[in-house]
Amino acid sequence: MGQLIDGVWHDTETKEVKKDGQFVRNASAFRNWVTPSGTPGPSGSGGFKAEAGRYHLYVSYACPWAHRAMIYLSVLGLKHVIDVSVVHPVNLENGWEFADYPGATADRIGDARYLYEVYVRSDPTYTGKVTVPILWDKETGTIVNNESSEVMRMLGGEAFQPLAQSWADFYPPEHQGEIDKLNDLIYGAINNGVYRTGFSQSQEAYETGVTAMFEAFDWLDERLGQSRFLCGDRPVESDWRLFTSMIRFEPVYYFHFKCNVRQLTDYPNLRRHTRDVLNQPGVRETVHADHIVDHYYLAHRRINPYGIIPAGAAVDYDGPNWSAPHIEEKKAC
């Protein structure tokens, strides 16, 4: 997928596979926070005050990590506060690109052709991966943060609350401990677990990843038999994190990453949860199946060198199987 080394693009992969074949994701590099007054947040430096029109999001509709940020932007009513640039879904030898594709856009801030130019604009000597989402500060001309979990927390936190048109607390104090535990499970076994499985380079590494994933599915399906969402009758942060992986499971992860021990339909509560989240106000508009399918099958050439898209990858999220259901009452956790 390529990387920047001292501000120069190289079409070489970063080292994210250990000797035993295990995939290990590198940490994000930009970790500043937008805060109500511009004081420093939990990490990084200060100077980033929450203001309407000051910030910009770079995203890919294909990417589950960027999808998290897009969901928060939509469901919290922040699209009038933060504008967006969307890359072409198929990132090849030059990485993510601003090019013609339905739903993709130009770079609306600096007229870059490739996303790596945005990183170099922020740090001319940057070394590392070029990923989305990027929260960009127009005022200082720099990347604030490119860690999706932290971008979620910022968009859903006190900094942007006064600017949101439909704000909701997805990290309520009474559930924070449980949410943190759920996030750890979902990230390790599912969000990152699909990549651990799909990018594994040994049978042992693959079996470790896929076993952990389906054990997590078993546990989550049982939990969701007790409540509509993971912590009761309304979504919390963990529900959104789980959703961005599960909405990609049927068209991509089951086939492309060999996550095929069981199908999503074998987990009635987990599938119902995915459908319920999809039908929350503002979510469906963030799901672009064409971007998702084309990205994974056409960009991952080491896994799928001929770019063949399986017939079963065509999932109609606008069809009756994914429409809003009659909601049955379930007790809260």
The secondary structure of residue 23, as a DSSP letter, is B
pLDDT, position 13: 75
pLDDT, position 26: 59
Residue 283 has pLDDT above 80, yes or no: yes
List, for residues 59-109, the tens digit of each pLDDT value.
999 999 999 999 999 999 999 999 999 999 999 999 999 999 999 999 999
Last residue of a domain, one of 163, 190, 212: 163
Q: Where are the alpha helices (DSSP H) in 137-192?
A: 148-155, 176-186
Same domain flag for 145 and 179:
no
Same domain flag for 180 and 155:
no
pLDDT, position 332: 45
CA distance 194 to 23: 10
Q: Is residue 296 part of a domain?
A: no
Same domain flag for 223 and 158:
no
Q: Is residue 268 part of a domain?
A: yes
pLDDT, position 27: 61
Amino acid symbol at 178: E
Cβ atoms of residues 115 and 96 within 8 Å? yes
pLDDT, position 331: 47
Last residue of a domain, one of 140, 163, 186: 163
**Which member of 171, 187, 195, 317 is catalytic?**
195
Same domain flag for 138 and 183:
no
CA distance 55 to 78: 11
CATH number of the domain that residue 225 is part of? 1.20.1050.10
pLDDT confidence band for 198 (50 / 70 / 90): very high
Average of per-residue pLDDT across 181-199: 98
The residue segments making up the domain with residue 182 are 175-280+316-323
Average of per-residue pLDDT across 31-47: 94
Same domain flag for 18 and 142:
yes
Same domain flag for 183 and 62:
no
- Verify whether residue 253 is a known catalytic residue: no
Q: Is residue 285 part of a domain?
A: no
Q: Is residue 73 part of a domain?
A: yes
**Which member of 55, 61, 63, 101 is catalytic?**
63
Residue 213 has pLDDT above 80, yes or no: yes
Same domain flag for 156 and 182:
no
CA distance 155 to 71: 10
Question: H or E element: which one contains 277?
Answer: helix 268-278
Average of per-residue pLDDT across 238-253: 98
- Verify whether residue 63 is a known catalytic residue: yes
Q: How many domains does the chain have?
A: 2
Average of per-residue pLDDT across 160-179: 98
CA distance 1 to 16: 12
Same domain flag for 121 and 83:
yes
Same domain flag for 128 and 193:
no
Same domain flag for 157 and 20:
yes
Give the residue among 142, 140, 137, 107 at the shortest CA–CA distance from 123: 142
DSSP β-bridge partners for residue 142: 137
Torsion of CA 100, 113, 73, 237, to 10 degrees: 110
Q: Is residue 55 part of a domain?
A: yes
Last residue of a domain, one of 118, 141, 163: 163
Average of per-residue pLDDT across 130-136: 98
Q: Is residue 243 part of a domain?
A: yes
Give the residue among 91, 82, 300, 277 at the shortest CA–CA distance from 186: 277
Asked which of 26-40, 138-152, 244-258 is least confident by mean pLDDT, the reply is: 26-40
Same domain flag for 12 and 150:
yes
Q: Is residue 112 part of a domain?
A: yes
Neighbours of 29 (CB within 10 A): 17
Average of per-residue pLDDT across 16-45: 77
Share of the chain above pLDDT 90, in %: 89
DSSP readout, 185-248? Answer: HHIIIIITHHHHHHT--SHHHHHHHHHHHHHHHHHHHHHTTTSSBTTBSS--HHHHHHHHHHTT
Q: Is residue 90 part of a domain?
A: yes
Same domain flag for 190 and 144:
no
